[in-house]
Amino acid sequence: MGGRIGVPSAFGGGVLSITTSGFEVGEGSAAYSRRSGHRLQLLCSDLSGIPRGQQVPPADNRIPTGRVAVLSPHLDDAVFSLGAAIARASRSGSTCTVVTVFAGDPESTAQCGWWDRQAGFGSEGEAARARREEDRTACGLLGAVPLWLPFGDATYEQTVEDGQIWDAVAEAVRDAATVLVPGYPLAHVDHLRLTRLTLERDLPVQRIGLYVEQPYAKRHAGRRAWRRPAVPDQLRELLAQPVAWTSLAAERRDRQAKHRAALAYRSQIPLFGRGRVEALGRLLIRRVALYEAIRGGEAVAWLKEP
């Protein structure tokens, strides 16, 4: 399968190139593997309004080296957001740790929060155990090491002090040279809390970066994926200067590794829409990939560099 088709003007016009695998980004066009005309139309609708001649931002070819820690509020955020960058860094010799802060208590017999209940779990412990296994599989596919902190997410209404969370986070990233935290859109209270804690305190690491969170950035952007991410107002006063977003270079094999890893979160995928988990997962990941193709890749904003 391959070729180029005209995109209806209702969907922004231009040309969509069809190839047999993955995205290839050219000048203002995206290539995408599709067998279903219906789904192709759905994806074309995502392209609606892209200015003609839209250039993909240049990607940053520098790979985070040494020990890299990606702070993930929940069990899936880091992989959905930075899976390709993690895969690339890992195969280039970096040691990548995915630190999930609100990974739940696997020993707990407490009733589920509403999110985990929707996913079909009966207790906090059952959810934490199953979701950690999904994360173990996903991280393994990217060459990363998972590290889980036992805090409950916001749906558990626990009263954990900021200081308690921060002490555990600081210990978890103690050896890291680079630490990445969520940066956009920060629409979830747990994501915002973790990033606020990181910015309020001073981590003794060489590099700190904000990352664009998926699939929320895609959802937040709707059909305006070409627009730059923006740091929420609540955090601006904690930043010394305006941030500049940079796309992270990745190869097709890294994007494919991310795709496979994201599909490991089988309990979470049904919560993002309706449909069979396999089909919904593929659609979800491809929509994220389309957003990233338009934006030039997964993105970070470096706050502190050596």
Query: How remote is the C-alpha of 188 from its chain's centroid?
Result: 13
Query: Which residue, 73 or 104, has its beta carbon nearer to Zn ion?
Result: 73
- The answer to the question of residue 193 lying near Zn ion (CB under 5 A) is no
In DSSP terms, which residues pair with 299 in a beta bridge?
247
How far from 148 is each of 127, 132, 136, 173, CA to CA, in Å?
13, 8, 10, 12
We find the least distance from the C-beta atom of residue 146 to Zn ion, in angstroms, to be: 15
- The answer to the question of residue 185 lying near Zn ion (CB under 5 A) is no
| Locus of tokens 């955020």 | 77
- The answer to the question of residue 131 lying near Zn ion (CB under 5 A) is no
- The answer to the question of residue 77 lying near Zn ion (CB under 5 A) is yes
Binding letters toward Zn ion, positions 46-75, x by CB under 5 A = ---------------------------xx-
We find the least distance from the C-beta atom of residue 187 to Zn ion, in angstroms, to be: 9
- The answer to the question of residue 298 lying near Zn ion (CB under 5 A) is no
- The answer to the question of residue 143 lying near Zn ion (CB under 5 A) is no
We find the least distance from the C-beta atom of residue 135 to Zn ion, in angstroms, to be: 12
Query: How remote is the C-alpha of 169 from its chain's centroid?
Result: 19
We find the least distance from the C-beta atom of residue 242 to Zn ion, in angstroms, to be: 25
Handedness of CA 67, 90, 196, 304 (dihedral sign): positive
Query: Which residue, 46 or 77, has its beta carbon nearer to Zn ion?
Result: 77
We find the least distance from the C-beta atom of residue 250 to Zn ion, in angstroms, to be: 22
Report how many residues bind Zn ion under the rule CB under 5 A: 3
* Cβ-closest position to Zn ion: 74
Query: Which residue, 90 or 195, has its beta carbon nearer to Zn ion?
Result: 195
- The answer to the question of residue 215 lying near Zn ion (CB under 5 A) is no
- The answer to the question of residue 259 lying near Zn ion (CB under 5 A) is no
Query: Which residue, 64 or 73, has its beta carbon nearer to Zn ion?
Result: 73
Query: Which residue, 14 or 83, has its beta carbon nearer to Zn ion?
Result: 83
Query: How remote is the C-alpha of 91 from its chain's centroid?
Result: 19
Query: Which residue, 51 or 273, has its beta carbon nearer to Zn ion?
Result: 273
Query: Which residue, 90 or 214, has its beta carbon nearer to Zn ion?
Result: 214
Using CB under 5 A, list all residues that contact Zn ion.
73-74, 77
